[in-house]
Every structure is written in structure tokens, then in C-alpha cells.
């Protein structure tokens, strides 16, 4: 960073390194908590009791909204070695906030406030919590919210009809606060491909490989300010650019022929036809991946891929005539 002075103004040029504000959301069981457990020196605010299977440090006794705020204040003012606060999860944190708002107003339910009024009060209280996190950022701690995803129908003003999209599983008053607050919003999910069978019917295949989406699309919310690729492998190394090198880059092991074959064929424009060909030949199962082919078979294909693709094309033409 270089200091400059123009017309009496004190200026700075260059990137500014600072703690990151990140939100990672996705379906239940995709591995968000396990991934966050590998962040730099994390401490978990476990609002739903979902980290019992992980060997991580948790904030003890932070059950109610008042206790949660007190714990955050202690993190901001006390001496400790933690470098990241992981809120697991944001949607359960909103529940704690709603319980506090109801208790404070002597209401049984958030609906008792009248149409929309209760959720507005929750959003105001949640916004105060986000502001309180500035104390942790000033202390050099990263803040990472984990959240569940939900599928909602979206009506586009530019298109006829509605379509499904993944969003934060939070109220429409609080979800925008999280999305605006964070520097990086990541959607973690299982990668599912659509293959067309011999009958012409399409079906979903895969579902085991996990990925992280980093940029907005019609199907999900996401954003980043780090120039990340649109789709990343589900690994802590993928997040290294976000946290300024605090996560060491992992050296990639030598890939097997099967793994190389899997990557090449998954990215091929005729991937569905290739999959049906491999299933027909008994090289992979119907729910398997391209990388499941045998090592010897993969080596033969990689030695002459043009011959293999020609065989796939001929088989595809034969199916079309039948």
C-alpha cells in the first residue's frame, strides 16, 4: 500500500487486507460444518447443536439471545487465540432472535404482533447483532455464517412462468441483511447431472460430488470479491484466496488415469451420451461417475480418445435409428 498526497488530501493506494465476512449455505448434510471446522483457529457458535460429531471448540452456555450477545462481546474484548467465529447456523440464530423479541414483548408467537410487524422487529434486532460483530472484525477475526438452503418459486418479470431457485432458509426480512452484510456468499451443494436414457426420458445422475458456487445465477444467490471461478471443488483449499493465505494451499496428488478420464468426460459436450455408452458397456453403474471406470480402460481411452468418441457417436446414431 502506498500513501499519496494530492491537494492536501491524505490518500492510500492498493488492496487492504482485513478479516472476511462470509456466508456459506446449502442443503442439510452437505458438510458445511466440517468445512468450517478447517478455517483458521475457529470457535463455533452452535445454535442448533449440529456440531456434536466434530472435534471443534464451541462457545459454552450461549443458548439464549442474551447469552449469545454476551459471548460475542467477550470474544471482542477478551484475550484468546481464535481467528474465526463460525455461526452454525444463521437460520437457527434467527429463531433465537425471534424468541427474544417475543419474550421481550410478552408474546407467545411472532405472529401475535400482527401481519409482518414481528418479523420487522426481528430484523431490527438481528441488524444490531451484525453491527456488534464489528468488534470481532477489529480484533482480526473472520466471521463465517453457515445456513441451510430452501427452494422457492421465483417469478421473473422478464419471463413467463416461474422457476425454482435456492435461497437462504431465513425470513424475507433477515435474509437480505445477511446477503448485504457479507463480502462473500457461497452456495454449497451436490453436483447433479441430467442424462437422457435410451427411451428419451431424462433423469438425474450423480449426486455424490460436492461443489461450491461463487457467483450469482438464476438458480441460486452467490457473490464474491476475490475473482473466484464460478464453480469450485468442495474443499477448504478452495477457500484459501478468501482468507488471504491463512489456509495453506494443498499440493494436488498425482491423478490416476480414471480420475483424468472422469474430468475430461464430465466436461465434454456429449457427456450424457458418453455416460449411456459406459453404462451400456458395463464400465460404470447407473448412479456412478465417469471416474469409476477401471484404470486399464481409462488408460486405453486416453491413449486414443478420438477412437473412443467415434464409438460413442456410432452407438448414439444406432440408438436414434432404433
Domains contained in the chain, number:
2
Identify the burial level of 59 via C-beta atoms within 10 angstroms of its C-beta, where 0-12 means exposed, 13-18 middle and 19 or more buried. buried
Last residue of one domain, picked from the residues 239, 273, 308: 239
Within this chain, do residues 163 and 207 fall inside the same structural domain, yes or no?
Answer: yes
Within this chain, do residues 274 and 176 fall inside the same structural domain, yes or no?
Answer: no
pLDDT of residue 114: 84
Task: Look at residue 100 and give its three-state secondary structure.
Answer: helix
pLDDT of residue 200: 58
Q: Is the separation of the CB atoms in 145 and 87 below 8 Å?
A: yes
CA distance 244 to 297: 41
Residue 247 placed within a domain = no
Per the structure, the complete domain to which residue 302 belongs is given by 257-321
Cis amide prior to 269 (ω within 30 degrees)? no
pLDDT of residue 42: 96
Task: Look at residue 220 and give its three-state secondary structure.
Answer: strand
Measured at the CA of 88, the angle between CA 82 and CA 93, to 5 degrees, comes to 115
Last residue of one domain, picked from the residues 239, 269, 290: 239
Residue 244 placed within a domain = no
Within this chain, do residues 114 and 37 fall inside the same structural domain, yes or no?
Answer: yes
Residue 250 placed within a domain = no
Residue 213 placed within a domain = yes
Q: Cα separations (Å) of 65 from 42, 68, 109, 213, 258?
A: 21, 5, 16, 31, 51
Within this chain, do residues 96 and 184 fall inside the same structural domain, yes or no?
Answer: yes
Within this chain, do residues 117 and 224 fall inside the same structural domain, yes or no?
Answer: yes
Q: pTM for this structure? A: 0.72
Within this chain, do residues 201 and 268 fall inside the same structural domain, yes or no?
Answer: no
Within this chain, do residues 122 and 162 fall inside the same structural domain, yes or no?
Answer: yes
CATH number, position 161: 3.40.50.300
Within this chain, do residues 37 and 94 fall inside the same structural domain, yes or no?
Answer: yes
pLDDT of residue 132: 96
CA distance 216 to 227: 13
CA distance 84 to 42: 4
Last residue of one domain, picked from the residues 211, 239, 267: 239
Residue 245 placed within a domain = no
pLDDT of residue 269: 85
Residue 134 placed within a domain = yes
> What is the 3 state secondary structure string of 248-309?
CCCCCCCCCHHHHHHHHHHCCCCHHHHHHHHHHCCCCCCCCCHHHCCHHHHHHHHHCHHHHH
Residue 13 placed within a domain = no
Within this chain, do residues 51 and 182 fall inside the same structural domain, yes or no?
Answer: yes
CA distance 320 to 322: 6
Within this chain, do residues 178 and 107 fall inside the same structural domain, yes or no?
Answer: yes
Q: Which of 256, 184, 253 is nearest to 216 (CA)?
A: 184
Q: Cα separations (Å) of 131 from 12, 90, 225?
A: 26, 15, 21
Ranges of residues in the chain with a pLDDT under 70 are 1-8, 14-16, 155-162, 193-207, 245, 248-253, 321-322
Within this chain, do residues 29 and 157 fall inside the same structural domain, yes or no?
Answer: yes
Within this chain, do residues 173 and 220 fall inside the same structural domain, yes or no?
Answer: yes
H or E stretch at 310: helix 305-321
Residue 173 placed within a domain = yes
Amino acid at each position: 500500500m502506498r500513501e499519496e498526497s494530492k491537494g492536501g488530501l491524505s490518500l492510500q493506494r492498493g488492496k487492504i487486507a482485513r478479516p472476511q465476512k462470509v456466508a456459506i449455505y446449502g442443503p442439510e448434510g452437505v458438510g458445511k460444518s466440517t468445512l468450517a471446522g478447517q478455517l483458521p483457529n475457529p470457535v463455533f457458535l452452535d445454535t442448533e447443536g449440529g456440531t456434536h460429531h466434530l472435534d471443534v471448540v464451541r462457545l459454552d452456555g450461549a443458548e439464549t439471545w442474551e447469552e449469545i450477545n454476551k459471548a460475542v462481546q467477550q470474544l471482542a474484548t477478551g484475550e484468546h487465540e481464535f481467528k474465526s467465529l463460525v455461526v452454525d447456523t444463521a437460520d437457527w440464530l434467527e429463531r433465537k432472535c425471534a424468541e427474544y423479541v417475543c419474550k421481550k414483548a410478552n408474546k407467545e408467537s411472532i405472529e401475535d404482533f400482527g401481519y409482518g410487524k414481528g418479523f420487522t422487529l426481528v430484523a431490527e434486532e438481528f441488524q444490531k447483532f451484525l453491527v456488534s460483530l464489528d468488534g470481532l472484525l477489529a480484533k482480526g477475526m473472520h466471521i463465517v455464517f453457515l445456513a441451510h438452503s430452501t427452494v422457492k418459486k421465483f417469478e421473473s418479470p422478464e419471463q413467463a412462468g416461474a422457476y425454482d431457485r435456492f435461497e437462504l432458509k431465513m425470513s424475507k426480512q433477515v435474509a437480505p441483511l445477511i446477503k448485504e452484510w457479507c463480502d462473500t456468499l457461497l452456495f454449497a451443494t451436490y453436483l447433479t447431472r441430467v442424462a437422457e436414457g435410451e427411451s428419451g426420458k431424462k433423469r438425474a445422475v450423480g449426486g455424490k460430488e460436492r461443489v461450491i458456487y461463487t457467483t450469482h445465477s438464476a438458480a441460486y444467490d452467490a457473490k464474491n470479491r476475490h475473482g473466484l471461478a464460478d464453480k469450485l471443488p468442495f474443499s477448504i483449499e478452495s477457500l484459501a484466496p478468501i482468507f488471504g493465505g491463512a489456509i495453506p494451499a494443498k499440493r494436488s496428488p498425482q491423478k490416476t488415469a480414471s480420475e483424468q478420464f472422469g474430468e475430461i468426460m464430465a466436461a465434454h459436450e456429449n457427456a450424457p451420451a458418453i455416460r449411456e455408452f459406459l453404462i451400456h458397456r458395463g464400465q460404470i453403474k447407473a448412479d456412478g461417475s465417469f471416474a469409476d471406470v477401471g484404470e486399464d480402460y481409462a488408460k486405453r481411452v486416453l491413449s486414443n480418445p478420438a477412437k473412443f468418441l467415434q464409438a460413442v457417436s456410432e452407438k448414439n446414431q444406432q440408438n436414434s435409428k432404433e
